[in-house]
């Protein structure tokens, strides 16, 4: 049994929140630069150039890459040989978010009740997903989610008879309906299978997979590549002003499901697609 102080989790999340909001991850940076080199639309290329410039200014002046610094989403994969000490782990995660958003002067966007809508003033609570895994390590993924793109996400409860063609239609429908509102170029996370809530969590977690890393399942990899090509053929383009770069990546996760269902979730993220992962 390995003991891990919850304060170590707090310290890590504090730093991760600040870093992920100010610097684009290497995979997203590579996507942006590659898209700029290959965009054929003059206006689309100009938009991508502005995004590149924004990226450099954010890093040099320690300004968030986007004014919507999102609601903090945290994935915790906890080794079953880990014993947390010094307090409650959920409280520790939220304290890390509170410190990060306060010390980093990041926008506080969370309200304490969905109807009364009173701002919590420290961007807590986070949305936390726990998973128990083998080993004695704790893997933390922080993925702040802005709501311009989050509001464009969808869940489709398809019939088994809809099959893979129904899945393709659902993905394209979600992206087409989102249009410019999801701040393209986008990353499209998809969850297929499980239940209503499971497919949505899978879609969210799919966004944290590095762009360009495909599923190890053959047909899923083929589907990711096909959907990326079709989405980029929609001519939505950067900022929705036309062009070949509507999406940087389509990441798909799957899970077993019931004989009577085919749940599909499409979680769209804008071009920053913030995600950072550390292990303690």
Q: Are 111 and 120 in contact (CB under 8 A)?
A: yes
Same domain, 95 and 208: no
Same domain, 6 and 136: yes
Judge whether 224 lies within some domain: yes
Same domain, 164 and 197: yes
Same domain, 183 and 269: yes
Q: What is the pLDDT of residue 47?
A: 96
Please say which residue of 144, 161, 185 terminates a domain: 144
pTM for the full predicted model: 0.95
Please say which residue of 96, 114, 144 terminates a domain: 144
| Alpha helices by DSSP H, 23-130 | 26-38, 42-61, 89-103
Same domain, 175 and 241: yes
pLDDT(59) > 90? no
Judge whether 37 lies within some domain: no
pLDDT tens for residues 3-42? 999 999 999 999 999 999 999 999 999 999 999 999 999 9
Same domain, 8 and 116: yes
Looking up tokens 């360009």, which residue turns up?
Answer: 212
The dihedral sign for the CA sequence 220, 80, 18, 71: positive
User: Looking at residues 230-239, what average pLDDT do you find?
Assistant: 96
Domain with 140, as residue range(s), is 2-20+66-144
Judge whether 56 lies within some domain: no
CA distance 33 to 246: 14
pLDDT(171) > 90? yes
Please say which residue of 144, 179, 209 terminates a domain: 144
Same domain, 203 and 248: yes
Same domain, 204 and 258: yes
Same domain, 224 and 93: no
Same domain, 198 and 120: no
pLDDT tens for residues 97-133? 999 999 999 999 999 999 999 999 999 999 999 999 9
Judge whether 34 lies within some domain: no
CATH number at residue 95: 3.30.360
What is the tally of structural domains in the chain?
A: 2
Same domain, 135 and 11: yes
The token pair that represents 104 in the structure block: 């980093």
Q: Are 71 and 147 in contact (CB under 8 A)?
A: yes
pLDDT(73) > 90? yes
The token pair that represents 177 in the structure block: 């309906």
Same domain, 139 and 156: no
């Amino acid at each position: 049994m390995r003991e891990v102080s919850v304060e170590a989790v707090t310290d890590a999340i504090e730093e991760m929140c600040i870093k992920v909001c100010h610097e684009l991850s290497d995979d997203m940076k590579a996507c942006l630069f590659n898209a700029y080199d290959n965009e054929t639309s003059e206006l689309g290329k100009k938009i991508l150039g502005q995004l590149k410039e924004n990226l450099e200014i954010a890093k040099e002046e320690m300004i968030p890459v986007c004014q919507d610094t999102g609601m903090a989403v945290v994935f915790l994969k906890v080794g079953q040989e880990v014993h947390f000490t010094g307090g409650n782990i959920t409280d520790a995660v939220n304290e890390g978010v509170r410190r990060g958003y306060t010390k980093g002067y990041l926008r506080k966007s969370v309200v304490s009740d969905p109807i009364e809508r009173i701002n919590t003033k420290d961007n807590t609570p986070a949305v936390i997903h726990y998973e128990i895994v083998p080993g004695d390590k704790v893997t933390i993924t922080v993925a702040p989610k802005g709501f311009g793109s989050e509001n464009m996400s969808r869940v489709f409860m398809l019939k088994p008879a809809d099959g893979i063609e129904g899945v393709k239609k659902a993905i394209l429908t979600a992206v087409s309906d989102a249009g410019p509102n999801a701040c393209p170029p986008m990353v499209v996370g998809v969850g297929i299978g499980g239940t209503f809530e499971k497919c949505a969590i899978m879609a969210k977690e799919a966004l944290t997979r590095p762009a360009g890393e495909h599923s190890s399942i053959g047909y899923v990899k083929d589907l990711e590549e096909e959907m990326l090509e079709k989405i980029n053929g929609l001519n939505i383009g950067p900022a929705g002003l036309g062009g070949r770069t509507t999406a940087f990546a389509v990441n798909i996760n799957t899970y077993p499901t019931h004989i009577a269902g085919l749940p599909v979730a499409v979680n769209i993220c804008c071009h920053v697609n913030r995600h950072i992962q550390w292990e303690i």
